[in-house]
């Protein structure tokens, strides 16, 4: 495989099975994890070099308030799980800046970044990519407008 060919970084906020097993955690996000794995397999089937990057979510019942970063594999793809916190506000603040530093330090000009769904945490990284002239895309699974209408706002 050509090391100068574009890489695909698929960034999401999911708890992948490999991470959950390694960390002995039980908060699995099945549909989101399967979606990210399926998209990664599709990209790989046409020659893409795919990397899954995630900000795992922890609930208040998590055995630890902080989880260290983890590098592993899921469905034969390299995975980087950024550090995370059980407090959602600390996690959001940390992830916002961690993703900015990740894209600045890791994404080359020819690489592509796909953000899974919509989240505040992605905004800084998406803006950094735009300023640097690097391609990014948003994979919107759930329509925000439908959520607003359904909630009656």
On average, the pLDDT of the chain sits at 83
Domains, the chain: 7-151 (3.40.50)
How high is the pLDDT of residue 145?
A: 59
Q: What is the mean pLDDT of residues 111-124?
A: 91
Whether the pLDDT of residue 59 is over 80: the answer is: no
Whether the pLDDT of residue 153 is over 60: the answer is: no
How high is the pLDDT of residue 16?
A: 75
Q: What is the pLDDT of residues 140-150, one digit of tens each?
A: 766 655 655 66
Q: Which of 134, 142, 138, 140 is nearest to 114 (CA)?
A: 138
């Amino acid at each position: 495989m050509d090391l100068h060919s574009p890489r695909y970084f698929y960034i999401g906020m999911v708890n992948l099975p490999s991470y959950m097993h390694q960390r002995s955690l039980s908060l699995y996000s099945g549909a989101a994890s399967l979606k990210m794995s399926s998209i990664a397999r599709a990209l790989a089937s046409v020659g893409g070099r795919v990397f899954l990057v995630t900000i795992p979510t922890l609930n208040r019942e998590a055995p630890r308030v902080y989880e260290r970063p983890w590098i592993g594999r899921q469905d034969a793809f390299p995975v980087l799980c950024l550090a995370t916190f059980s407090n959602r506000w600390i996690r959001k603040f940390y992830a916002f800046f961690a993703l900015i530093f990740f894209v600045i330090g890791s994404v080359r000009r020819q690489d592509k970044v796909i953000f899974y769904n919509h989240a505040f945490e992605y905004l800084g990284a998406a803006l950094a990519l735009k300023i640097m002239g690097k391609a990014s895309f948003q994979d919107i699974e759930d329509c925000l407008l439908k959520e607003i209408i359904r909630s009656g706002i």
